[in-house]
Amino acid sequence: MKKPLIYTIILLVLSLSFSCSKEELSIENENSLGEIIYFESNETFKNTLNLFNSFNEISEFEDWSRQQNYNSLYSDKSITLKEQEDLPLSFLFLLNEKREFQIGDRIINYSEGVFYERNLNGLNQSNKIFAKVEQSPLSTDNEDGVTDKITSNRVSINANGGEYKQGWREYNRQKYRTRCGTPYNKSLKYRLVHYLVVRKVSGPFFTQSDLIFKLRMSQKTGSGWKYNNTTTERLYDLNLSGSWYIKYKYGGNITSVKSFSINDKNYCSSPLKGTKSFWIGNYNFVSSTPISHYEWRVNLSGSIFHKVNGDTNQLNTTINW
């Protein structure tokens, strides 16, 4: 008489166990295989940032993103030019199309240079700042001088931002055209600028520092110089190569020397407007040492072609930074 009762209990336990497993699997699917990428804790988030330190190519980020089986902001059609310009590369792959990722019971949301966190457990529904994107602005006053330091034929740039290397030339435009149309007379005083800059994201237990090469155009206005012209079409052709590593200012290197190349061009059918960024490398600092104690050591050389579409002037130069 007791055996049926024992079998009933065993079946009930197995049934409950199977139900729990399905529920846990459902939660896992919802978080890691659904619309948002999920990190169990701050530690797993930091481990992912450390993994990104080993990536040398954007294709490695793309491969990683595909393995997570979700749609990143980097590959989403809704991404804006400003987000491409402002956000470090790692976070373009961490964020989904809603500009969110999840750590434990917190949703991290990005908006206008700030990452906000919202708790899902109901204790605190208000947003608080999780991290900020920081990039020291390059004022037009600095275009009349170079604020870099040269050490052993390498540009030295503070990992904290604020120091950079750049080159530029000033022109008086004679001609202009839109796309592949016929050039026509149109005057404008402008500068074509190319430069290296460091951008960072500062959070509660990490700092990410990105090294980027950029092209942009400034234009003369009645009251001075407009830093970033976003309406004039431009053409470019870059053939650059180099290497970088990060050094502790008061000690040795903390990374190996990594090589990179930038080989890209556009055509009149797809002209450039505004700033164009080329990612070179990134490093995520998760130690307690102030990031200002580190610096990027960069070697960069090659040819740069940059011009306003249709104009007779053109910047055609070589650099050896």
pLDDT in tens, 75-127: 999 999 889 888 889 999 999 999 999 999 999 999 999 999 999 886 656 67
pLDDT of 31 higher than 70: no
Helix (H) or strand (E) holding 44: helix 42-52
Contact residues for 290 (Cβ-Cβ < 8 A; gap 6+): 160
As a whole number, mean pLDDT of residues 244-252 equals: 89
pLDDT of residue 126: 66
Contact residues for 118 (Cβ-Cβ < 8 A; gap 6+): 106, 107, 109, 125, 126, 127
Confidence bin at 13 (pLDDT 50/70/90):
very low
pLDDT of 138 higher than 60: no
Torsion of CA 26, 30, 32, 37, to 10 degrees: -160
Token pair of 210, please?
Answer: 């990105």
CA pair distance 113, 83, nearest whole angstrom: 9
CA pair distance 122, 125, nearest whole angstrom: 6
pLDDT tens-digit readout, 253-284: 999 999 999 999 999 999 999 999 999 999 98
**What is the three-class DSSP state of 73?**
helix
As a whole number, mean pLDDT of residues 48-73 equals: 92
Side-chain-side CA neighbours of residue 145 (13 Å): 7
CA pair distance 204, 214, nearest whole angstrom: 29
Percent of the chain whose pLDDT exceeds 90: 56
Distance, first Cα to last Cα, the chain: 89
pLDDT of 60 higher than 80: yes
pLDDT of 14 higher than 60: no
- Global pTM value: 0.80
